[in-house]
Structure 1
Amino acid sequence: MQTREMALLIQDAVLLPAGRLEIRVALPAELAMVVMVLKGQCGLAFGAQKSNDTLPCYATVTECDIIDFNQLEDNTLSIVLEGRQRLKVLSAAMRSDGIWIARTLPCQNWRDEPIVGEFEIISAALEQFYEVNPDLLELYTQVHLEDATWVSQRWLEVLPMYNRDKLLLVEQPDCHKTMDFVLQLLRSHVDV
């Protein structure tokens, strides 16, 4: 597999393939990076912030596209990102202008698979979550509540967990451990 250099956008959030996330971009280096990406000078990878390590983010990141942007009232920029491909960061360095550049290697995305049996509750709960949080649902033109991978990745993006715990699940070969985790979480919440 071929390695690629990509601009690295680091936030305290997780974005996975087929997921969408709206973030505020205000720092000059982040704005310059958005310009570089929109001009096609490099690809963009989104990583979950990590401190006290040689890398500024967790090693598993997501290649993403900027699919929308708006200027906010305070003259900062809001961008909507859509995740495409999981990547592994091999190395990263900050340029003199403050932009992080990472050498990345593509990783296998989780395969789509149908939700069956007891796991259908996870899909129904996500649908209810989106009804309560319509601003998150508005980011999507299509939802895939029938797909276990899509549903489990959306749960990982929104659950209030430490990024390190989310990434332990993200780095699994498929969505099964995430599905089990979310099912147990929902059952424990209902049993209370």
Structure 2
Amino acid sequence: MTDQRPYAALLAKGEDRRQRIIAVARRLLTRNGSRGTTLGEIAREAGVTPAGLLHHFASKEQLVHAVLDARDDYDDAHADRTGDILEQLAAIPARFRESPDLIGMFTVLLAENLAPEAPLHERFLHRHRAAVDTIAAGLRRGQSEGRYRADLDPAVKAVEIVAFLNGIETSWLLDPSIPLAEVFREYTGSLFRSLVLDGAS
């Protein structure tokens, strides 16, 4: 039987290098944005040659997508898309503190790609719409279970919630001293009142 250990070790080493490149890219993208970051800078800080980087990522665009994929995977691992919206919001401040680099990178790249002709515009637009749809579905679920007002428009309320999240991310990145937990507590309290009480007779 052929000993597979050297091959497995080679694969593991390659994956370690790939993850190191992604981590360095995330840090530089957060600091400089995509337009201000070169593959040469990423390779140098990751301790690989440009050819070694291109072995894993054929272009900067592919690398940026890999960085965003890693951020999406993190979100997927920490989100309960079938759970209660208010409980999900209450858990977000802890995620801010766990992975500030992911939030910073996402916010910087989002700002760079607001224009329709920007290279990542469609990706960010798709993610925005998916987030709105997911939250709207959660609100409809609450309505069908009798927990939320029936006269509420879930699509409109979902846009409001996503706008709050985008805004608080930017505010927190600009000023990390803001009382994040208190802001979320105030907003979720206000949101609860609007979902349950406003318009009630």
Common fold: TM-score over 0.5: no
Q: Normalized per residue, which structure has more strand?
A: 1
Flag the structure with higher helix content: 2
**TM-score bracket, shorter-length normalisation:** under 0.3
Which structure has the bigger radius of gyration? Answer: 2
Q: Which has the higher contact order (CA 8 A, sep 6+)?
A: 1
What's the TM-score once normalised by structure 1's chain length? 0.27
